[in-house]
Structure formats: structure tokens, C-alpha cells
Amino acid sequence: MDADRPVPTAQLLGRTVVVTRAADQAPDLVARLERHGAHVVVVPVIETIEPSDGGRALRDAIARLGAGDYRWVMVSSANGAERLSAMLRGPDDLGGARVCAVGPATAEVLTAAGLQVDLVPPHFVAESVLEVMAPPDRHDPAPRVLIPRAAVARDVLPDGLAAMGWQVDVVEAYRTVTATVHPDAIDAVQGADVVTFTSSSTVDRFVEALGMGSVPPVVVCIGPVTAATALAHGMAGVVVADDHTLDGVVEAVVGVVGSQLSAPAGEPLAGDP
């Protein structure tokens, strides 16, 4: 065996785990689960497409960014980081603005593009950014923040920053839409032990594409926001990853396999929010 290749384990042997991420983002999670012996069913329920204006608003915002109009750029997803990075020629296009990345995956995309990430909040949700951000300098005539994000997203971050006194520009960087799900996927999902969700959009699109009747007995969510969406749909057996990363999702799946999946029907699941 290649010395650089992680040694597979059998912690998930015989278990079927559903991955709902977009097709181009699924391999990282699939590889992690397969290293633990899981049989992984990939059912991409979302795909990421261009913003409705073809990127015009983001290009305009980047021009203003380079001109020094912004003090901060705040990116809350790897998709947003990829769209922003693709339009920047380099660090100089930031115009001196500092960069906040919500989560290590988002930060990794930005740093890979040669950008310095100045702030990663301790918890990978918008609320954590607000806990560590300070109000703008009262002598700053234009304390402006740029937030490139999905067309549909929570307004916790922009609303919270505005309440602090920041001037916030929210720009559509991409859209998340429902992917076409092959009919065979429905049977595969219904026989699975666990489904994983890495964003609220994957939860919404799963229900839209496959229906609540296809939800496996255990639902593992990457974080509390995603879990809240699952619970709002009426999903049971919801478990939240302690570490809101792909590794955290895998750890949560491994953790529930030995307990929740063998618990008698009707018993509450440890870890439910």
C-alpha cells in the first residue's frame, strides 16, 4: 500500500451513507467516508450556476474593491470564494481591504488564490463573525463591507454588520439550483443508513427532489444552521457535527453508527439539538 495513502478502517463497513453535495464538490467527502469502509451513494441534489446577471454586479464590486472603497470582504462559502478568486487578478485587486472567511474550507480557497485571510471566526457561522467584529472607526467616512454570496442566503451577517454601523453591499456571486436526480437514486437513498447535508440548500433541494419519504433514519448535518433547516422540514434523527467541517461530518457519522443506528425505535437520538 502507498505509504502516503491513509489506511482504510472498517468503522462504517456495511453502512450506506448518502452524500448530497454538488457533483464537483462531492469527491472530498466521499473519499473520507470510504476510508472508513462506508458504501457511499452520491446523489447531488444541487448545482451551482452563474448569478442571474452573469456576474456584472460582482465585477462592478471588484472594480470598487480595487479602488479602495471597501474595508472588508466577507466570504461565507467555498463557492463564494471560488467566484471571487476567479475574478481577482491578485491581492492588489483587494485595494487594501481585509478578508474574512467563514470556515477553513472557504479560507483554503482564498489562500490557494494567493489572498491573505485576516479573520476566520472561531465558529463557522455568520453569528460568530458578529461576535468578533468591531464597529467601524467613527472617523472613517466610508466604512463599507463587501459580501459576495449566493442569491438566496440568510441575512444574519449583513443585518448584524449594518446594526454595528457598517455600510454593507451584498452581491450575488452565484446561484444554487436543484440538480436533476436520476430515478434510480430514490431507491438507493431509501435503503441507506445515513444522509449527510453540508448546507441548508442541500436539505431544501433533497426534499424538493426526493421528498421526505426518502430520508434515511439518521441525518448528519455539518452545522446548526443546516440542522435547523432539516428540523424545519420535520426530519428526525438529526445529528450536528461538533466540528463544522467535512472531517466533522465524517466523525459524526462514525459516532452515530455504533449507537443511534442500533437504538430501539422511538428512543431519542443522542446529539439531537
Provide the residue ranges of all domains of the chain, joining segments of one domain with +. 16-45+179-262, 56-176
Residue 263: the pLDDT is 47
State the pLDDT confidence band at 261, using cuts at 50, 70 and 90.
low
For the residues 133-153, what does the mean pLDDT come to? 92
State the pLDDT confidence band at 113, using cuts at 50, 70 and 90.
very high
Contact 165, 136 (CB under 8 A): yes
16-45+179-262 domain in CATH 3.90.1300.10?
Answer: no
Whether residue 124 is predicted with pLDDT greater than 80 in this model: the reply is no
Whether residue 272 is predicted with pLDDT greater than 50 in this model: the reply is no
For the residues 126-130, what does the mean pLDDT come to? 89
Q: Tell me which of 17 and 8 has the higher pLDDT.
A: 17
Residue 267: the pLDDT is 43
What string of DSSP letters covers the chain? --TTSPPP--TTTT-EEEE-S-TTTHHHHHHHHHTTT-EEEE---EEEE--TTTTHHHHHHHHHHHTT--SEEEE-SHHHHHHHHHH--SGGGGTT-EEEESSHHHHHHHHHTTPPP-B--SSSSHHHHHHHPPPPPTT-S--EEEEEEESS---HHHHHHHHHT-EEEEEEEEEEEEPPPPHHHHHHHHT-SEEEESSHHHHHHHHHHH-GGG--SEEEESSHHHHHHHHHTT--SEEE-SSSSHHHHHHHHHHHHTTGGGSPTTPPPTT--
Residue 122: the pLDDT is 87
Question: For residue range 193-251, what is the model confidence (pLDDT) as tens digits?
Answer: 999 999 999 999 999 999 999 999 999 999 998 999 999 999 999 999 998 889 999 99
Residue 186: the pLDDT is 83
With a pLDDT cut of 70, the percent of the chain lying above it is: 91
56-176 domain in CATH 3.40.50.10090?
Answer: yes
State the pLDDT confidence band at 257, using cuts at 50, 70 and 90.
confident
Whether residue 106 is predicted with pLDDT greater than 80 in this model: the reply is yes
Residue 258: the pLDDT is 64
State the pLDDT confidence band at 44, using cuts at 50, 70 and 90.
very high
Residue 226: the pLDDT is 94
Assess whether the region 16-45+179-262 and the region 56-176 belong to the same CATH fold.
Answer: yes
State the pLDDT confidence band at 187, using cuts at 50, 70 and 90.
confident
Whether residue 91 is predicted with pLDDT greater than 50 in this model: the reply is yes
Give this prediction's pTM: 0.82
Whether residue 266 is predicted with pLDDT greater than 90 in this model: the reply is no
For the residues 98-113, what does the mean pLDDT come to? 93
Residue 259: the pLDDT is 67
Residue 117: the pLDDT is 96
Whole-number average pLDDT of the chain? 89
For the residues 166-195, what does the mean pLDDT come to? 91
Residue 192: the pLDDT is 95
Backbone φ and ψ for 74, nearest 5 degrees, come out as -120, 120
For the residues 138-167, what does the mean pLDDT come to? 93
